[in-house]
Amino acid sequence: MPDERLGERSCAYVVLKPPHLSLTLEEVIAFFSRKRVAKYKYPERIVIVEKLPRTASGKVQKFLLRQDIIERLRQEHTAV
């Protein structure tokens, strides 16, 4: 996600698979902590989606995820 000071901050797009019905940021952080992932790599936000946008060859279209988070942040900002 864009950040005025840092340029970007991390945001994780997650596709849940059965039997998982939900996931919280706290659960993700606890998992990363158990796996000894450096704190600066922790996502600051998670977005649950049904599927990731992909190209015909199967690569994730990251530019669409960037556009999506910008729009989500814009909507949150105008709702406040």
pLDDT band at 9 (very low <50, low <70, confident <90, very high): confident
Contacts of 39 (CB under 8 A, 6+ apart): none
Question: What pLDDT is attached to residue 27?
Answer: 95
Contacts of 23 (CB under 8 A, 6+ apart): 14, 16, 46, 48
Query: Residue 1 pLDDT > 90, yes or no?
Result: no
64-73: long-range contacts at Cβ-Cβ below 8 A with a sequence spacing of 24 or more?
65/13, 69/1, 69/11, 69/45, 70/1, 70/2, 72/47, 73/1, 73/2
**pLDDT tens-digit readout, 46-59:** 999 999 999 999 99
- Averaged pLDDT for residues 28-42: 95
| Domains present along the chain, CATH in parentheses | 2-79 (3.30.300.30)
Question: What pLDDT is attached to residue 6?
Answer: 74
